[in-house]
Amino acid sequence: MTRAITLHDVSKSYTRGVRVVDRLSLDIAPGEFLVLLGPSGCGKSTVLRMIAGLEEITEGEVLLDGERANELQPSERDMAMVFQNFALYPSMTNRDNIGFPLRFETPGADPRPRVDATARMLGIEDLLDRFPSQLSGGERQRVAMGRAIARHPSAFLMDEPLSNLDAKFRNHLRAEIASLTRKLGVTTIYVTHDQAEAMSLGDRVAVLRGGVLQQLDTPRTVYGLPRNVFVAAFIGTPRINLLRGLVRAPIGGAMAISLGKQYLRLPEPLSLDHQLLRVQQGREVIVGLRSEAVRIAKPSAGRPGEVALTGLVGHVEFQGHEVLVHFNTGSRPAVVPDLEAPRPARRPPRRRRREGAVLARLRERAGALRAGPVVAPDNPPDEFAEPAPPEGRLPGDLVVRTTPDIELRHGMEVPLLVDLAHLFVFDQHGERICPAPARLPDLED
């Protein structure tokens, strides 16, 4: 049996009123594999523990199959949890570890048939009579998963179960988890800070920051249409290129986004998304370009929707199956404060203005999702000045993915083509304005 899990405006506060989870709402369908993704400390493990009943809920409610479960004990929720640190009893054999919870669920029944069936499913039949200390990390995690699977729970709760393993075991067990959960059809909530795990495992991905839900969607949509600059930068390898731009929309002239020394000229006729950028005339924005949105080619080879740039080669990373080239285009990288931090930076208080209740709610809702403003230096450099690379970053402001057969040298000037169909534009608060959001806020909400 599997079950639906619903979180309705769930919050968790500790001492001094610090909220580690803030009004989180989720609807998880029976049999769905949902991944909670975010940087360390963003509240995702706390959410998992509240669902399991190991943490008390400060506000809101958890519903299991539509029934309130806030007061249910963990043993009454029929869920199995897989922890990061295996949590096996060292004095018990692996057979006894897997069968231990069955002794309490079905007293007097022989647990061996279910233990043997689970071991065959996980391929650990020959490990049952050993002790955990005699196993590798990957084998111990299989035993820990076996203990959860043998119970036939209504939901699996997995708290970064692969983070203590090396890359080889991690990739192998990731495929096993995906196969097992599809076969069992059990609702699964999986916590990780590894976006590769999230994208490969989840039916849907919930991106958290500071205990606030930033975006909930399929992996393809989260990557292809990030709701804000935090989601865009957190999802994807290599990280999305974020550049500071200025919208130029002269009356009767061609519309462009200035990147400093060069321009992204928007082709005529303007698409609907590009037409909506006119309201940003004269404003600084954040331009986002994935590494695959730019290719090395001459302007004469341009396709419809591509515009030309030039770049100086600053660094070349050979990856075997591909090459990542760091170009200097004369642009200024957009620095988003605390991008890797779990909590957004606090904003200075603004002077209160008179506004209606509806507008106040819209401001509050939008503010909860923002990923932080762009950092502008006290004395902004001249638009055409040579930018200095941010501390800790490789030279260059634009990373391009290309084929391994290309031959490039440091300092070489290279023609580039940018596919504007894959152009992201964010405002200074990090909210996506191009492509335009599919749904604008409803004043009646």
Per-residue confidence of the chain (445 residues) as pLDDT tens digits? Answer: 678 999 999 999 987 778 899 999 999 999 999 999 999 889 999 999 999 999 999 999 999 999 999 999 998 999 998 888 878 889 999 999 999 888 887 787 888 898 998 888 888 889 999 999 999 888 888 898 888 888 888 999 999 888 877 777 788 788 888 888 888 889 999 999 999 899 999 999 999 999 999 999 999 999 999 999 999 999 998 999 999 999 998 887 788 999 988 999 998 888 888 888 888 888 999 999 999 999 999 999 999 999 999 999 999 999 889 999 999 999 999 877 656 566 665 544 444 445 555 555 555 444 444 445 554 433 344 443 444 444 445 568 999 999 999 889 999 999 999 999 999 999 988 999 999 876 554 444 4
Strand partners, 310: 415
Strand partners, 323: 318, 402
Are the beta carbons of 148 and 80 closer than 8 angstroms?
A: yes
**Residue 445 and residue 442: Cα distance in Å, rounded?**
5
Q: Give residue 394's pLDDT.
A: 57
Intervals of CATH 2.40.50.140 along the chain: 229-345+392-434
Picking from 202, 124, 137, 133, the residue whose alpha carbon sits closest to that of residue 163 is: 137
The CATH homologous superfamily to which domain 5-224 belongs is: P-loop containing nucleotide triphosphate hydrolases (3.40.50.300)
Q: Give residue 166's pLDDT.
A: 74
Intervals of CATH 3.40.50.300 along the chain: 5-224
Q: Give residue 293's pLDDT.
A: 94
Q: Give residue 383's pLDDT.
A: 42
Q: Give residue 338's pLDDT.
A: 57
Contacts of 155 (CB under 8 A, 6+ apart): 2, 3, 5, 51, 77, 78, 79, 80, 186, 187, 188, 189
Topology given in CATH for the domain delimited by 229-345+392-434: OB fold (Dihydrolipoamide Acetyltransferase, E2P) (2.40.50)
Q: Give residue 335's pLDDT.
A: 79
